[in-house]
Structure 1
């Protein structure tokens, strides 16, 4: 049976999400800001949860109707057959987002949806589910447009960027799906040397190592669809077995990481080790301004410090020219990709980016700057000569 779904993702990565969903077998894809609507059978939903590196959540649409008041939304939720999808012994959480809605209180709308779900359960079963805002069995999402309300059941559970690999973090960690999107935008693929010289807790390294070893991002975690009454355990086992059969044994994959902070390197080491990915990565403690490139050419990706992450703008103004100089001196032949919310970065680095891609790190608007570091004059190539 074909159902309707919505997959969310970091803003700026919608086309990559379309690619993921298409590969999973989705149809009738409609891209909007922050996600993609699509239609698919349940096995495609399972496959997308398991394999998409870009999606944040995949939601199953269970109801949709126009509204004018909170009572209209209550009636829509009451008319939805929630007991067909889960049981009263399971806990629930309701979240509502709105765009251009005339209703004044989202909290009140959330309460009305919760009341309607409980009233429907009382009517059908004589029991009602309890609310658990921390670790619910079932998440209900409401979306209010200017005229229409849509109700969804979450098929993912914990956000899909929570792969189950990263336990130790440092300040301002990058979400895994944003890191995966940056790797894809950079054009990196297994066999090309990769370096993150400010690796923090190792998000880029973990994503790249999983890709190199053919490990599905969701292979080590559970999903909310497993707790729905529609769950097909046999179909899920076939998908999971096929994913695990495609994994390669851990071996060095030309992936390098370093950081000035020994604490960060230890965190990355622990995370890679926990995920069984340590043999694929070479880690070291080192200053980006002093380290040498590990190969004659490759791709450098990094999330350098910027104004939202460190408070001293004067310190950054001193760091960026040194960063630009280090890239010119030591990384000729490399394509370098830096994510930053600091629009001063290219100018202060004395480098002209060949491409600027708008991306959002949570609510923070950033740019992914591409610098092609080639030897010789940079006129017309957007790279600076080595010094």
Structure 2
């Protein structure tokens, strides 16, 4: 049976996510603000949760109801037969986005929806679901859009950007989903060397290694919410897990992350070990001035600090100039990418860009700068 789904993603990554969904077999793919609508069967729903690298979660819309005010929202929510989706012995969480003039507090709106659901359970069965905001069995997503409320089942649960392998993080880590998106934007392929000379806790290199080894990121998760649904197909899920495990590759080109900070290198090494790919990637302490290419060609990508205050920005001028000097002097034949949130700093690289790609990094408008090094 073909159903409609909505994959949530970071602002600005909608087109990349749409392309990823098409590759996974999705139909009727339609990017929207911070998400992508698509269609597919139950197998596709499972496959997207297992394999997608740039999305946060997959929602399955189940009802759109009128919700001009709290009273209408409550009555229309309670009119739905929730026994089709939720049993009283299962825990529940309701998460809400959007608003209208009379439903302008997401927390209170979520409570209103939760009350309607559990009041129906109490009336019908004399027992109701408990609320669990940490690890709920069933997650209901509600989105208020003008006088309507779209109610969806969250098939994912905890956001997919939390792969499960990264227990150690630096001070300003990239989300795994953004790191994967950056690699898609660079058009890096698994036969190319990959270097990050400011790797922090290693996210870009680790995401590249997972891509190159064809490891499904969902394999690191213990559970998805769809496994608690009434129509969960354990046999189908098991076959997809087996398929993913059997499709993994064994070898990579040089994948190297360096950083001047010894502590974050230890974090990166710990994360690589958690991925069980510690023998496939190299993380070591090294100052930027000492970096050398491990191959004749490849992709270099880094996310240097941007600086928040004017004094911080000026202090970073030498770092960005050094980046440009190193690119020009040592990485001929490579393609370099720098993600920065400051235009003045980007000028200090001193090289002509061949492409400038707007990126939103945690609410900060950034640009991914491409340098073809000849």
How would you bin the TM-score normalised by the shorter chain? Answer: over 0.9
SS in 2 for 1:60: strand
**2:111 — aligned with what?**
111
**2:324 — aligned with what?**
324
Query: Contact 2:335–2:372 (CA<8 Å) still a contact in 1?
Result: yes
Could you tell me how far 1:28 is from its partner in structure 2? 1.8
* CA distance in 1 between partners of 2:2 and 2:309 (Å): 44
Query: For 1:45-76, what per-residue CA distance to the aligned partner results, in whole angstroms no more than 9, with x for missing partners?
Result: 00000011111110111111333212222123
The answer to whether structure 1 residue 65 and structure 2 residue 65 are counterparts is: yes
Query: Structure 1 pair 67/276, CA: closer, same or farther in 2 (3 Å)?
Result: same
* CA distance in 2 between partners of 1:189 and 1:205 (Å): 13
**2:190 — aligned with what?**
190
Query: Contact 2:212–2:252 (CA<8 Å) still a contact in 1?
Result: no
* CA distance in 1 between partners of 2:314 and 2:241 (Å): 51
**1:243 — aligned with what?**
244
Could you tell me how far 1:308 is from its partner in structure 2? 4.6
Query: Contact 1:101–1:145 (CA<8 Å) still a contact in 2?
Result: no
* CA distance in 1 between partners of 2:287 and 2:130 (Å): 52
Uncovered stretches (5+) of structure 2, i.e. residues with no partner: none
* CA distance in 2 between partners of 1:310 and 1:123 (Å): 61
Query: For 1:112-164, what per-residue CA distance to the aligned partner results, in whole angstroms no more than 9, with x for missing partners?
Result: 11111111222332211111222222221111112321011110111111111
**2:225 — aligned with what?**
224
**1:380 — aligned with what?**
none
Query: For 1:84-123, what per-residue CA distance to the aligned partner results, in whole angstroms no more than 9, with x for missing partners?
Result: 1222122222111116666333332122111111112223
SS in 1 for 2:220: coil
* CA distance in 2 between partners of 1:50 and 1:33 (Å): 23
* CA distance in 1 between partners of 2:123 and 2:181 (Å): 46
Query: Structure 1 pair 76/310, CA: closer, same or farther in 2 (3 Å)?
Result: farther
Could you tell me how far 1:311 is from its partner in structure 2? 7.6
Query: Contact 1:70–1:109 (CA<8 Å) still a contact in 2?
Result: yes
- Structure 1 segments of 4 or more deviating over 4 A? 99-102, 308-311
Query: Structure 1 pair 174/101, CA: closer, same or farther in 2 (3 Å)?
Result: farther
Matches within 5 A, 1:33-48: 33-48=33-48
Query: Contact 2:99–2:105 (CA<8 Å) still a contact in 1?
Result: no
Q: Normalising by structure 2, report the TM-score.
A: 0.94
* CA distance in 2 between partners of 1:33 and 1:308 (Å): 27
Query: Structure 1 pair 28/79, CA: closer, same or farther in 2 (3 Å)?
Result: farther
Uncovered stretches (5+) of structure 1, i.e. residues with no partner: 375-387
Residues matched between the structures, number:
373
Matches within 5 A, 1:258-273: 258-273=258-273
Could you tell me how far 1:234 is from its partner in structure 2? 0.8
* CA distance in 1 between partners of 2:166 and 2:104 (Å): 39
* CA distance in 2 between partners of 1:309 and 1:168 (Å): 27
Task: Please report the RMSD computed on the Cα atoms of aligned residues, expressed in angstroms.
Answer: 1.9
**2:366 — aligned with what?**
366
Query: Structure 1 pair 100/264, CA: closer, same or farther in 2 (3 Å)?
Result: same
Could you tell me how far 1:322 is from its partner in structure 2? 2.1
**1:234 — aligned with what?**
235
